[in-house]
Chains A and B, each alone.
Chain A
Amino acid sequence: MTCEDLDRRLSEGARAADLAAEPAVATHLARCPECARLMAWLLRGIGDVRVDSARASEIARTGLKPVRSLPPARTLIMSLAAIVAGVAGLHVVTMGADGWPLLSGSQAIVFAAFLAVTLALLAPAWLSSLRPGARQRVHPVAAVLLLAAGFPALAALLFPVRLAEGLAAEGVRCVAGGAMAAAMASGLLFLVTRRGYPLDWGRTGALLGAIGGLAAVAALQVSCPRHEAVHLALWHGLALILPVLAGFLAGRRAG
């Protein structure tokens, strides 16, 4: 047993009182004044710090009415999937599916796989943001960055560069249609999010925006016939980035 061993055992969560009772530790403590001093400090508690509980009770009783506990993870994930699919479907129904026949099999598969993977990362990140102290399996910033950086990169890889006239006019129409879909999906998901208690609203807003943006680019890929790298990366990319930024800023203001 060395001084460092003791620090390691403590930092791994061993209780000081339990450690002090171990013979090997006791032997070391008898020889090592520094560890003995550390141990003595650890064994000293700060006692009870009592504060007036009447005021806290008053707060806890204010407007006390029954609340519904947060639904199970499966229910929440299913509502997220329903919102994304529902809004993307609605967009295609209203804007048409002119882009669908133009997609090659490999383009459709790779694109769908990318969106499925990013959604599979965004969903648990969103889920853990609903509940304080929830296990964070996926970092929300990493999931949002993967989508925001991966989408234009994939557009450049999968689709040819063919600059043509009328780029801006068509582009603005795609951004507008996409932003509308994203706003609808993010808004609906916000209603579910309010069932929880996100501690970091800026981050949660960005997540809501990213999930809405994902629904938007998925829908645009089907509705928009301009399958060209620059149009996709720039205008569809904007339909993805703008909701993320808007969600982040709105969340920060609200939180």
Chain B
Amino acid sequence: MASPEQDAVPPRTGAAGAREALDAELLRLMPRYQDADRAAADALVLTAGPVLARYFYSLTGDTRLVEDLVQECWLRIHRARQSYRRGEPVLPWLMAIARHTRVDQYRRWKRSSGRETGIDGLVRQPSSDPRPGIENSLQAREVVAVLHRLPDSQREVLTMMKTNDMSVEEVALATGVSQAAVKQKAFRAYQAIRKALGVSRREENER
């Protein structure tokens, strides 16, 4: 028998509902992970893993790099788990660590290769040889190819908003800038995406 409360508040569906479900699950699992619950650790990996993988894939377009980044990120999450304060939203905490993982990895890569390219150097053309265990559809590659045309900071903001379905406030927390700066970057990103989509259309026509 359904309670009156359940009748009054129907569960939200679609993207908003999915985000609410993700938040609720992360909020439930993080304290148990801090309490060293092994099942919660596994569940957290299954819940947060796809979020991280999508983020890294959107930004790098390279499936091998995604494997490395996700593993490195879990090492850091594991070490950082005490810094999560119970009851606080988990996603900005998680994505701030993910973001830092990538920035650090880029610095190391730059140091070892001695190259003077921007962080865009980390982004390779979307790879066309997906390894087992990684679903890498043609559609995903097309989406990432357009993101690839944006400067890094715009690509990051757009990735968090579009791919990870984060709010402006959450992106601001995860990237350590103001909400106004996030909105401005996103606005510029959408204008650049328009151009990029126009360009890819023209390229198609020329073929």
Q: Which residues of A contact B163 (CB under 8 A)?
A: 45-46
Does B165 make an interface contact (CB < 8 A)? yes
The contact string, 1 if C-beta is below 8 Å from chain B, for chain A 1-26, is 00100111011110111100000000
> In whole angstroms, how far apart are the Cα atoms of A49 and B167 in the complex?
21
In the complex, are the beta carbons of B95 and A69 less than 8 A apart? no
In the complex, are the beta carbons of B134 and A15 less than 8 A apart? no
Q: Which residues of B contact A6 (CB under 8 A)?
A: 190
In the complex, are the beta carbons of A46 and B139 less than 8 A apart? yes
In the complex, are the beta carbons of A56 and B49 less than 8 A apart? yes
Q: Which residues of B contact A28 (CB under 8 A)?
A: none
B67 touches which one: A37, A42, A44, A51 (CB < 8 A)?
A: A51
> In whole angstroms, how far apart are the Cα atoms of A66 and B32 in the complex?
9
Please provide the chain B residues from 79 to 136 with a CB less than 8 Å away from any CB of chain A in the complex: 79-86, 88, 91-97, 100, 133-136
Does A62 make an interface contact (CB < 8 A)? yes
Min CB gap A57→B, angstroms? 5
Does B11 make an interface contact (CB < 8 A)? no
In the complex, are the beta carbons of A34 and B70 less than 8 A apart? no
B136 touches which one: A42, A49, A68, A69 (CB < 8 A)?
A: A49
In the complex, are the beta carbons of A50 and B53 less than 8 A apart? yes
In the complex, are the beta carbons of A64 and B80 less than 8 A apart? no
The contact string, 1 if C-beta is below 8 Å from chain B, for chain A 61-77, is 11011111110100000
In the complex, are the beta carbons of B78 and A69 less than 8 A apart? no
In the complex, are the beta carbons of B161 and A67 less than 8 A apart? no
Q: A17-B14, A69-B31, A131-B93 are in contact. Are A51 and B139 (CB under 8 A)?
A: no
13 interchain pairs, CB-CB under 8 A: A37-B197, A41-B143, A46-B54, A51-B133, A56-B45, A59-B74, A60-B41, A60-B74, A67-B36, A131-B88, A132-B100, A133-B91, A195-B83
Please give the residue numbers on chain B whose beta carbons come within 8 Å of chain A beta carbons, in ascending order: 14-16, 31, 33-36, 38, 41-42, 44-46, 49-50, 53-54, 56-58, 63, 66-67, 70-71, 74-75, 77-86, 88, 91-97, 100, 133-137, 139-140, 142-144, 146, 161-163, 165, 167-168, 173-174, 176, 183-184, 186-187, 189-191, 193-194, 197-198, 201
